[in-house]
Amino acid sequence: MTKKRRKLSTLSTFYFVKNYFHGNLNKSQEFCEHKLHLFRNKLNHNKIPTKEGWIMRLKDIREESELKHFTISKLLGVSRGTYSLWELEKDPIPIKRLNDFCNIFKCSIDYALGFTNIPNYKNSKENININLSSTRLKALRKEHKHTQDYVAKKLSINRSLISKYESGHTIISTTFLIEYVKLYHISSDYLLGKIDEKITIEEPTILTYNY
């Protein structure tokens, strides 16, 4: 690709990202929206291949949408390199960026994290509710009659961080959200206050293609 063409391609992506959430897409930029629409349609009709076990799906979701790292990174407001590290699981994706990613592709956080083959949940909210999340984290711990010290030991973190999560002073990180799901087998979307149904997450099994 020549420098001129590369520059034009970069500018096209830039203007697509700039206008994406405002609905001001021209015909060339509508190509990306079209790709997202096709992906969401496949997702809603269970036409996306699944994997064995609890495996994060960021890369699979992006590749199925046929969008490039650069486009997704711009939609998330980060550099391509930063997004690539998240996709490769070399760095944990921040929980708010993960939520943005799921909103772009219209999938649940459980699905993106590989905890379920159900692409999305009915009546799911777009935003994380930190107050509701803190209440649910605390209630879940007490339901199992666990102390903060016990949870901190199981998650290998300081008890003060558990206290911050439960008080709503700090939103739970993606890393420890995953550990909570594994410990209590409860939906991450529920724990984040995005859905009201207390969905149970089953142990990982051999999964098949849903075609």
pTM attached to this predicted model: 0.76
Enumerate the domain spans of the chain.
3-112, 130-191
| DSSP β-bridge partners for residue 23 | none
DSSP conformational letter for 3: H
What pLDDT is stored for residue 9 in this prediction? 42
pLDDT of residue 29: 59
Cα–Cα distance measured from residue 38 to residue 155, given in angstroms and rounded to the nearest whole number: 39
Write out pLDDT tens, residues 113-139.
Answer: 999 988 899 999 999 999 999 999 999
DSSP 11: H
Tokens for 204?
């990982």
- Does the CA dihedral 71-96-157-79 come out positive or negative? positive
Place of tokens 């219209």: 106
Q: Average pLDDT for consecutive 10-residue bins of the chain (211 residues)?
A: 45 47 51 58 53 73 88 92 94 96 95 91 96 98 97 95 97 96 96 97 58 35
CATH class of domain segment(s) 130-191: mainly alpha
